[in-house]
Amino acid sequence: MITAHINGIRIAYEDTGGSGATVLLVMGTGSPARVWEVHQIPALKAAGFRVISMNNRGIPPTDECPGGFTMDDMVNDVIGLIDHLGCEDVSLIGTSLGARIVTETALARPDLLSRVIALAAHARLEPVQQAMTRGEIALADYANPPPPDYRAAVMALQYLSPATLRNEDQARDWLDMFAFDDGRISAGHRAQLQISQVLGDRRSAYRDISVPMLIIGFADDAAIPPRLSREVADVVPGAEYVEIADAGHFGYLEQPAEANRLIIDYLKRPLATARVRKMPAVTMV
Q: How far is residue 170's CA from residue 215's CA, in Å, rounded to a whole number?
A: 27
CB 24 within 8 A of CB 93: yes
Q: How far is residue 123's CA from residue 201's CA, in Å, rounded to a whole number?
A: 6
For 72, residues 6+ apart whose C-beta sits below 8 A from its C-beta are 104
Q: Degrees (nearest 5) of the Cα angle 207, 56, 2?
A: 130
Known catalytic membership, residue 221: yes
Which among 73, 221, 229, 246 is annotated as catalytic? Answer: 221
CB 222 within 8 A of CB 165: no
Sequence-ordered strand ranges (E) for the chain? 2-6, 9-15, 22-26, 50-54, 90-95, 113-119, 213-218, 240-244, 283-284
Q: How far is residue 122's CA from residue 117's CA, in Å, rounded to a whole number?
A: 12
In eight-state DSSP terms, residue 181 is: S
Nearest in space to 121 (alpha carbons), one of 137, 103, 146, 145: 103
Which among 31, 53, 91, 96 is annotated as catalytic? Answer: 96
For 173, residues 6+ apart whose C-beta sits below 8 A from its C-beta are none
Q: How far is residue 46's CA from residue 101's CA, in Å, rounded to a whole number?
A: 26
Q: Which residues are tagged catalytic?
A: 96, 221, 249
